[in-house]
Amino acid sequence: MFSLLCGLLFCALGSGQLASGQPDDGKRYICRAIPLSGDASCPVTLLPELNAGSQEEELRNTVMQLRETILQQKETISKQLGTINELTTKLSLCASATDDRKYEKGGSWGKEKQNTMGDVPRDPNDTIDSLGKTMQGLKDRLENLEQMRANVSGASFPSELRDLLQRRLGELEKQLLKKVSNLEEEKSMLSNATAAYRLKTESTLNALVERISELEKGGGDFKSPEQFKLSLPQRTNYLYGRITKSLPEMYAFTLCMWIKSSATPGIGTPFSYGVPGQANEIVLIEWGNNPIELLINDKVAQLPLEVRDGRWHHICISWTTRDGQWEAFQNGEKLGTGDNLAAWHPIKPGGVIILGQEQDVVGGRFDAGQAFVGELSQVNIWDRVLKPVEIQSMANCSSYIPGNVVSWLASNVEVFGRGAFKRPLEMCQERLPNA
């Protein structure tokens, strides 16, 4: 490019000289090809033919003109140098931003990109690399241009040529500017695409993490709302579940649940219902080496249930205020019955149901020694005595009947304590004793 311009310069100088001083006969076109390796400073030798005394003044004038031209040219070029410097700064900013992106990309999501999403239009790595190269190329070209202008300023030439050169350089500059702005736009698009992509990846990951912790902590969506269990893995006074519903006044009830525990020396307290003035309104507890006990209004019946084998068991206890009659079922089988348990007492309403802890006051003052350790599920309560066939069909997985006063739903069970979780429940068939 430079030598082309030098060539232009020389031709123009020759013809310019011809036009101004020397009519036809002198005909000195000086069109020299400048070798690429030649002196790039484009030396302009003033024409040796101008030696006659009559031409001296002409020459002096020309020299004066040229000096002036050079001064103007210098001024113009120094202005343009400012612009070029600005451009160069811009470009190097772009280039360093490109480098930064390269490092950024090496970050934690780098590997996932190819595998998880697959809808990234192109490999950002490559694109950023080639963008960086393009920018570097442009930068070099600008530097050349700058150098060339500096070199040109050292030469002398008449105004038409100066204009030509300036036009030429102006065009070049315009082209470069356009290219730079295109590149900047492309970079911005790329960066937006990458940002959007990262955002998407992160939000997908977040959703996954959220879902996992929901499943662990509770409130998650299970296969169906009753297909979850409450897991209380340690004997503490702070791991428990709370049923967000209370009980109405009741003259009979059936309490059923799936229960799994291997805790010794007793499974503790899977269920307690406390009301103001009576913390032991309904309690199911196995403590020490005693059998499982049912407390109603703090009266006690010992139940012939045995669940402490680390396997799932379906148990149901029904009670009616009439004669305080009760029945106890395990795995659909009626294992015991009795009466005079809190006879003629109505179950008081408005209390608190706690799963896994025994309440000494309503909703609190738990004792780790009485805590339940294991898993509970489908704790349902009806305000009537269920028929044995209903209990059997639930215990053999042929039906599921939600409780009419308390029904086992994830949204009805709050989990408290670090380590207590709602988890997906095994299939009913897998919970059967012979499974």
Ligand X SMILES: *[C@@H]1O[C@H](CO)[C@@H](O)[C@H](O)[C@H]1NC(C)=O
Q: Which residues bind ligand X (CB under 6 A)?
A: 2, 40-41, 102, 106, 123, 125-126, 144, 147-148, 151, 185, 188-189, 192, 389, 392-393, 396, 398
Q: Which is nearer to ligand X, 132 or 266 (CB)?
A: 132
Q: Which is nearer to ligand X, 102 or 200 (CB)?
A: 102
Which residues, listed in sequence order, are joined to residue 301 by a DSSP beta bridge?
Answer: 294
DSSP class of 344: T
User: Closest distance between ligand X and the C-beta of residue 235, in Å?
Assistant: 35
Q: Which is nearer to ligand X, 152 or 230 (CB)?
A: 152
Q: Which is nearer to ligand X, 254 or 278 (CB)?
A: 254
Q: How far apart (Å, rounded) are the C-alpha atoms in residues 279 and 283? A: 9
Q: Which is nearer to ligand X, 34 or 301 (CB)?
A: 34
User: Closest distance between ligand X and the C-beta of residue 130, in Å?
Assistant: 11
User: Closest distance between ligand X and the C-beta of residue 293, in Å?
Assistant: 28
Q: Which is nearer to ligand X, 20 or 41 (CB)?
A: 41
Q: How far apart (Å, rounded) are the C-alpha atoms in residues 16 and 8? A: 12
User: Closest distance between ligand X and the C-beta of residue 396, in Å?
Assistant: 4
User: Closest distance between ligand X and the C-beta of residue 190, in Å?
Assistant: 9
Q: Which is nearer to ligand X, 124 or 266 (CB)?
A: 124
User: Closest distance between ligand X and the C-beta of residue 51, in Å?
Assistant: 29
Interior angle at CA 291, CA 286 and CA 292, nearest 5: 45
As a residue count, the chain comes to: 435
User: Closest distance between ligand X and the C-beta of residue 344, in Å?
Assistant: 32
> Which are the contacts of 188, defined by CB distance < 8 A and separation ≥ 6?
none
Question: Would you say 311 and 322 are in contact if contact means Cβ atoms under 8 Å apart?
Answer: no
Whole-number Cα distances in Å, 303 to 85, 123, 260, 285, 300: 93, 69, 17, 10, 10
> Which are the contacts of 368, defined by CB distance < 8 A and separation ≥ 6?
235, 236, 237
Long-range contact set of residues 287-295: C-beta below 8 Å, sequence gap at least 24: 287/369, 287/370, 289/265, 290/266, 292/267, 294/319, 294/326, 294/328, 294/341
Q: How far apart (Å, rounded) are the C-alpha atoms in residues 246 and 229? A: 20
User: Closest distance between ligand X and the C-beta of residue 140, in Å?
Assistant: 11
Q: Which is nearer to ligand X, 41 or 206 (CB)?
A: 41
User: Closest distance between ligand X and the C-beta of residue 309, in Å?
Assistant: 22
Q: How far apart (Å, rounded) are the C-alpha atoms in residues 228 and 215? A: 9
User: Closest distance between ligand X and the C-beta of residue 24, in Å?
Assistant: 36
Q: Which is nearer to ligand X, 61 or 182 (CB)?
A: 182
Q: Which is nearer to ligand X, 221 or 333 (CB)?
A: 333
For the chain, how big is the Rg over CA atoms in Å?
46
Amino acid identity for residue 401 in this structure: I
> Which are the contacts of 135, defined by CB distance < 8 A and separation ≥ 6?
91, 94, 95, 98, 183
Q: How far apart (Å, rounded) are the C-alpha atoms in residues 296 and 253? A: 11
